[in-house]
């Protein structure tokens, strides 16, 4: 088995803001801008937009399937870590549903989860030693990048927009899910959503104090970041145009 498919990786380890990390960030940002730009071109016909939507669905679901198959094949799939209950993985799967159904109801939640959650994850990946081109590195950046692309698609192609009401509904739904996630962590010994303990790698949580106090700080920071993600649509009137809800 090639080393890039092995659970233990002997290549160059992941380096925060190293060349591979910066290249992945630049590629993700470039593709997001390219999708937004192309959606406004005459060549972006309805059939091509539909094709792009299904390509994104394939990326979102395909990456998760490949990731699960790899974990099972090398014997590292464990219930305490491998269930698709991490916030970014949950966002990833729901983004596929959002694209398939063109749902504005899902969009209003996933916009904030993606823009805030996926962006933070891309900036501070929980990759430990898996550097490029390990499958862990590739799956991480493809899946998180695809969630952002799904949001860009809904913004630029479907014309949906986040609102103040959506922000507070997202906060409410997120908090309603927390007891369920904490129960799963208790039953499995896992750390989904990092609500049981801080992650092992560097992240924003490192500066928010010990558990459980960082959970309170995260609530405040999360709301501030949600507001920051909404502000462009509040300050720029031409960005507030919204299509009728699709579902």
Instruction: Kindly report, residue by residue over 26-38, the tens digit of the pLDDT.
Output: 999 999 999 999 9
Q: How far is the CA of 43 from the CAs of 40, 47, 188, in angstroms?
A: 8, 10, 50
Tell me which of 207 and 140 has the higher pLDDT.
Answer: 140
Beta carbons within 8 Å of 231's beta carbon, 6+ residues apart: none
pLDDT surpassing 70 at residue 241: no
Name the token pair of 58: 């394939």
pLDDT of residue 247: 40
Phi and psi dihedrals of 86, rounded to 5?
Answer: -60, 145
pLDDT of residue 104: 93
pLDDT of residue 244: 41
pLDDT surpassing 50 at residue 45: yes
pLDDT of residue 202: 61
In this prediction, residues 15-43 reach a mean pLDDT of: 95
In this prediction, residues 102-111 reach a mean pLDDT of: 95
The burial of 103, by beta-carbon neighbours within 10 Å (0-12 exposed, 13-18 middle, 19 or more buried), is given as buried
Say how many C-beta atoms besides its own lie within 10 A of residue 14's C-beta. 22
C-alpha 104/C-alpha 170 separation (Å) is 13
Name the token pair of 56: 């994104």
pLDDT of residue 245: 43
Beta carbons within 8 Å of 66's beta carbon, 6+ residues apart: 135, 139
Kindly report whether the global pTM for this prediction surpasses the value 0.85.
yes
Average pLDDT over all residues of the chain: 89
């Amino acid at each position: 088995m090639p080393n890039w498919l092995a659970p233990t990786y002997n290549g160059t380890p992941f380096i925060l803001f190293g060349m591979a990390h910066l290249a992945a960030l630049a590629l993700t940002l470039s593709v997001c801008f390219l999708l937004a730009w192309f959606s406004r071109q005459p060549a972006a016909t309805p059939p091509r937009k539909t094709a792009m939507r299904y390509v994104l669905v394939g990326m979102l679901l395909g990456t998760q399937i490949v990731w699960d198959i790899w974990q099972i094949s090398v014997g590292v799939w464990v219930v305490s870590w491998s269930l698709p209950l991490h916030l970014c993985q949950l966002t990833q799967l729901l983004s596929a549903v959002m694209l398939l159904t063109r749902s504005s109801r899902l969009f209003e939640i996933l916009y904030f989860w993606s823009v805030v959650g996926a962006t933070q994850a891309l900036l501070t990946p929980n990759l430990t030693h898996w550097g490029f081109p390990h499958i862990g590195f590739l799956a991480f950046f493809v899946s998180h990048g695809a969630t952002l692309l799904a949001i860009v698609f809904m913004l630029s192609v479907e014309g949906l927009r986040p609102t103040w009401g959506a922000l507070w509904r997202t906060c409410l739904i997120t908090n309603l899910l927390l007891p369920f996630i904490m129960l799963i962590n208790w039953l499995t010994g896992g750390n989904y959503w990092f609500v049981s303990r801080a992650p092992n790698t560097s992240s924003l949580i490192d500066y928010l104090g010990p558990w459980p106090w960082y959970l309170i700080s995260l609530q405040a920071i999360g709301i501030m970041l949600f507001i920051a993600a909404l502000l462009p649509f509040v300050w720029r009137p031409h960005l507030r145009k919204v299509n009728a809800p699709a579902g």
